[in-house]
Amino acid sequence: MSDSNSNSDSSNDNIVDQNRRSDYQWEAEVDERSELIQNLITDRINAYVNRRIRQPIPPPRRPRRNIERNREEGHNQLYNDYFMNPVYPEDVFRRRFRMHKHLFMRIVNALSANDRFFQQRAGGNRRPSFSPIQRCTTALRVLAYGTSTDSVDEYLRMSETAVRDSLKLFVEGVISCFGNEYLRRPNPQDLGRLLHMGEVRGFPGMLGSFDCMHWEWKNCPTAWAGQYVGRSSKPTIILETVASYDLWIWHAFFGTPGSLNDINVLQRSPLFNDVLEESAPNVNFAVNGTEYNMGYYLADGIYPGWATFVKTISAPQIQKHKLFATRQESCRKDSD
């Protein structure tokens, strides 16, 4: 009996010892895993701190500067120079604005009537905004001369942002107000007006002046530059136009590469498609007793000798030829 009790006691002691050893192993494993997790977290924190230290600290953002330009003085200067007892005459206005004054005021009045952006209103500080003449002048200067948007700051007192907004909305406004009138084929009423205008100027049957011009493509992709570089060392895009004396541009073919010349562009142009399809309107007029039934355009000497082109006389010798060359070259400048 005593032997059996002693055996049971020894077995119980063995079980207790095994449980203790299991507890010790479990605690050791827990400690080991905790140490691994702690080391992993420490490594991640150190890597993040080192990465942040290596990165340059961005400079503090400077507050936006407000430059008092005195916009009213810019409007008064512009108005006194060209509109109210103008300092510069009409021909200077035509050269600098690339249009006659009455046409410019027509655009200004149309944009002011249809777009609140071009209307002079008082802001929250009860100060009037830029005048419509200022906004349209800045847009025209940038378009006509291809200058930067801050080139008129000293004269018109307009910031670069204001000029950029004026330019964008000026283009959209002109398309909205005059898109139905310009850049379309002339109807019978327009055709009669063009023929009458040409006859008054000494060219019966003339439909307008025909010419091509190159526009520099400043942001032309490098991969495309080769096909757009022509007579100049810069990429250009060719614009083919037909314009009347009052700057009514009823034909514009734009987008051909600058590596082409006027003849190549003419071969791609849709201007004479109606002539080839025999659907062009009849234009009847007489010159020196000869009847003609097809209108023509004034052009320079590079174009082919088609019946639809009337070119100047190179090196005229007699007075009659000199007079014709002078009148033809003068009227041909309408498309410039």
pLDDT at 293: 85
Last residue of a domain, one of 128, 150, 178: 178
**Token pair listed for 77:** 């200067």
Q: Do residues 202 and 314 share a domain?
A: yes
Last residue of a domain, one of 140, 160, 178: 178
Q: Do residues 262 and 321 share a domain?
A: yes
Question: Which residue in 326, 286, 300, 194 sits closest to 247, CA to CA?
Answer: 194
65 is a domain residue: no
Q: Do residues 265 and 163 share a domain?
A: no
209 is a domain residue: yes
pLDDT at 93: 92
41 is a domain residue: no
Rounded distance between C-alpha atoms, residue 258 and residue 37, angstroms? 68
What is the CA angle 97-180-253, rounded to 5? Answer: 65
Q: Do residues 306 and 192 share a domain?
A: yes
Q: Do residues 322 and 217 share a domain?
A: yes
290 is a domain residue: yes
Q: Do residues 162 and 194 share a domain?
A: no
266 is a domain residue: yes
Q: Do residues 173 and 194 share a domain?
A: no
- 3-state SS, residue 161: helix
Question: Which alpha helices (H) appear in 115-270, and where do they start and end?
Answer: 132-145, 153-156, 160-178, 188-200, 225-228, 262-268
pLDDT at 19: 58
Last residue of a domain, one of 148, 178, 208: 178
Domain count, the chain: 2
Which residues constitute the domain of residue 77?
Answer: 71-178
Report if pTM > 0.75.
Answer: no
Q: Do residues 193 and 325 share a domain?
A: yes
Q: Is the dihedral of CA 165, 168, 172, 175 positive or negative?
A: positive
255 is a domain residue: yes
Q: State the 10-residue block means of pLDDT for the chain, 336 residues long.
A: 51 57 67 77 75 67 78 90 90 88 92 91 79 92 81 87 91 89 83 89 90 85 88 87 84 88 87 80 83 89 88 90 90 75
Q: Are 228 and 237 in contact (CB under 8 A)?
A: yes
Say if strands 206-216 and 296-298 run parallel, antiparallel, or are unpaired: parallel
Q: Do residues 307 and 211 share a domain?
A: yes
Q: Do residues 301 and 207 share a domain?
A: yes
99 is a domain residue: yes
Rounded distance between C-alpha atoms, residue 208 and residue 251, angstroms? 10
Residue 152 phi/psi, 5-degree rounding, is -105, 15
168 is a domain residue: yes
Q: Do residues 139 and 219 share a domain?
A: no
pLDDT at 271: 86
pLDDT at 54: 64
Q: Do residues 124 and 255 share a domain?
A: no
Task: Look at the block and give the residue holding tokens 């055996």.
Answer: 7
Helix and strand totals (H; E) in the chain? 12, 7
pLDDT at 136: 93
Q: Are 147 and 141 in contact (CB under 8 A)?
A: yes
